[in-house]
Structure 1
Amino acid sequence: MPKPLIGISTYLEPARWGVWDLPAALLPAGYPRLVRASGALAAMLPPDEGPTAAAEVVARLDGLIIAGGADVEPVRYGAEPSPRTGPPARERDAWELALIDAALASGTPLLGICRGLQLLNVALGGTLVQHLDGHTGGRGVFGEHTVKPVPGTLYASLVPEAAEVPTYHHQCVDRLASPLIASAHAEDGTVEAAELPGAAWVLGVQWHPEMGRDTRVTEGLVRAAARR
């Protein structure tokens, strides 16, 4: 049986390698490594042109990961930017929201990681806290903290115990979108995972599984992708 194909959204950023200094589609290597370790093939998805392209891309995938990265532009959830909110990544916001919409419309298994959880919440009508202390290990350093699953959720079926997770974020869910339910929390009450109940496999986690060794969440995504 062929391995499922999991698409992962990417950054468009200036980059330097060898003699080159050019715009590049970038993705930390931990993401495709995590997908491969979970039993699937990985495909990078750089920003493209709008909803039609997103639907065509998602139609060719067995599953989708929305990767971590820049802050979501506050206008997307009806807020003014805080002084501590990062610069907007409008092209990426538009592309990843279109990918999320296409995955939800088609029933494609979807995992949001960090920013990916935040975008999933925004896509469904939720809002974000624009700055949160204590969820990094310092500038450019991943931290670690405990997340506790909510019994009876999809996430709890994958990771039933409290777990230490690698974390690096300064924004988080504020008002949870009404279709979503919280499925894990940090000790300070921060929503650390949220999911969409129903037939489709839709889960967002606030931490960075690609920086750890626990593959249970992505193995759940891959199993759902294989069933399709």
Structure 2
Amino acid sequence: MTITPLIGLVADRKVVTVGQWIDVPNDAIPHSYVAAIQQSGGSPLLIPSVAVNLANVERIVDAIDGLFLPGGSDLDSDLYGEECHNENDQPLRERDDLELALVRRAVERGVPVYGVCRGMQLINVALGGTLEQHLGDRLDMTPHRDEIGTYTAHEVIPVAGSGLAGIVGTATFAIASHHHQAVAELGQGLVACAWAPDGVVEAIEAIEATGDRFLLGVQWHPEQKLPGAGLELFRAFVQAAATGSLGYRVGLAEGTNTDDMVVKDVGLRVVDAPTSERCMEKHSAMSS
């Protein structure tokens, strides 16, 4: 039997109805992510959203070949030092802290990391970046989320010479979009590698002066398998997980100084604070 790369992905916490049982807490994930990993040659390993244990984080990262970060609810804005916007989801801090710890350990160990939508935003925050909390505050924005529960189509423009362009090419293509937040200040060692026509960052990756690393986040939903950038991104990620490297690096202009751009000494920085009191108070007031 062929052994395939083991891909870890953290489940979301949802309250669902199961048979005759109502309001049952579940750790679950949309099957489209699981299917995309399987169809790309990987074996998904579901990780429940539980309180962070640093020793177990190290064991998890040591056990997996790649870390996938799926979409989901908004990150706690406290994690990047901002007040909670009124349009933000109620945060699930246990998931936030676990995924942040996993990303930092994976980057430190050189384990391939791939994030989608929230997952891209989480990579950015894990490496010290910030988020624009609500694109709806802009007047000139491309629709990135028209209606709840639907995907919006718009174009993205890959950056020539980037690792992303090495996978999908440099031609503009349409994607499936559903987000109201976006990358603001880039995290340490990250570069934007695709943009929307309105200037929203649509993909980020690692800047590598030397060596190989697969660290990629995209703001769209390639698991929906639209033409342009669907399963090929999952396949590239799983290939990196299988081989340990992909020669994945940004094509920088000759003479570019990357001394201050490379990820250095990321380490584990777990925030012990509970879910943001400001966000919890806001959502409690809205539901009362």
Q: Same fold (TM over 0.5)?
A: yes
Match of 1:153 in 2: 162
> 97, 105, 108: which one pairs with 1:105?
108
2:125 paired residue number:
122
Please give the secondary structure, in 2, of the residue aligned with 1:148.
Answer: strand
Q: Distance in 2 between matches of 1:27 and 1:164?
A: 25
Counterpart among 215, 231, 234 of residue 202 in structure 1: 215
Q: Structure 2: how far apart are the matches of 1:171 and 1:2?
A: 38
Superimposed CA distance per residue, residues 75-107 of structure 1 (whole angstroms, 9 cap, x where no aligned partner): 100101111122121111111101111211111
Q: Which moved more, 1:83-92 or 1:113-122?
A: 83-92
Amino acid at match of 1:193: A
- Rg larger in 1 or in 2? 2
CA distance in structure 1 between the partners assigned to 2:222 and 2:200 by the alignment: 17
1:225 maps onto 2:227 in alignment: no
List runs of 5+ in structure 1 lacking aligned partners. none
1:193 to 2:194 alignment: no
Following superposition, the deviation at residue 52 of structure 1 comes to 2.1
Corresponding position of 1:15: 16
Q: 3-state SS of the aligned residue for 2:91? A: coil
Output the CA distance in 2 between the equivalents of 1:139 and 1:48: 27
Counterpart in 2 of 1:164? 174
8 Å CA contact 2:12, 2:48 repeated in 1? yes
Contiguous gaps of at least 5 residues in structure 2? 137-142, 245-288
Matched, 1:58 2:64: no
Could you tell me which amino acid in structure 1 is paired with residue 99 of structure 2?
Answer: E
TM-score normalised to structure 1 length: 0.96
Quick one: which amino acid aligns to residue 204 of structure 2?
A: A
Provide the residue aligned with 1:81 in structure 2.
84
In the other structure, the counterpart of 2:7 is 6
SS at match of 1:79: coil
User: How far has the Cα of 1:49 moved from its partner?
Assistant: 3.5
Instruction: Check the 8 A contact 1:7/1:44 in 2, yes or no.
Output: yes
User: What is the letter of the counterpart of residue 202 of structure 1?
Assistant: L
For 1:106-152, what per-residue CA distance to the aligned partner results, in whole angstroms no more than 9, with x for missing partners?
Answer: 11100011111111111111110000132023111111111111011
CA distance in 1, matches of 2:59, 2:182: 30
Q: Pick from 28, 35, 38: which aligns with 1:36?
A: 38
1:165/1:212 contact within 8 Å kept: no
Query: Percent sequence identity over matched residues?
Result: 38
Q: What secondary structure, in the 3-state scheme, does the structure 2 residue paired with 1:119 have?
A: helix
8 A contact 1:68–1:116 mirrored in 2: yes
TM-score w.r.t. structure 2 length?
Answer: 0.76
Q: Which has the higher strand share?
A: 1
Q: CA deviation at 1:29?
A: 0.7
When the two chains are superposed, the root-mean-square deviation of aligned CA atoms in Å is 1.2
Measured in 1, the distance between the counterparts of 2:188 and 2:44 equals 31
CA contact (8 A) 2:154 2:176 kept: yes
Superposed CA offset, 1:157-195 (max 9, x none): 111122211110000001112310000001111100000
CA separation in 1, counterparts of 2:189 and 2:199?
20
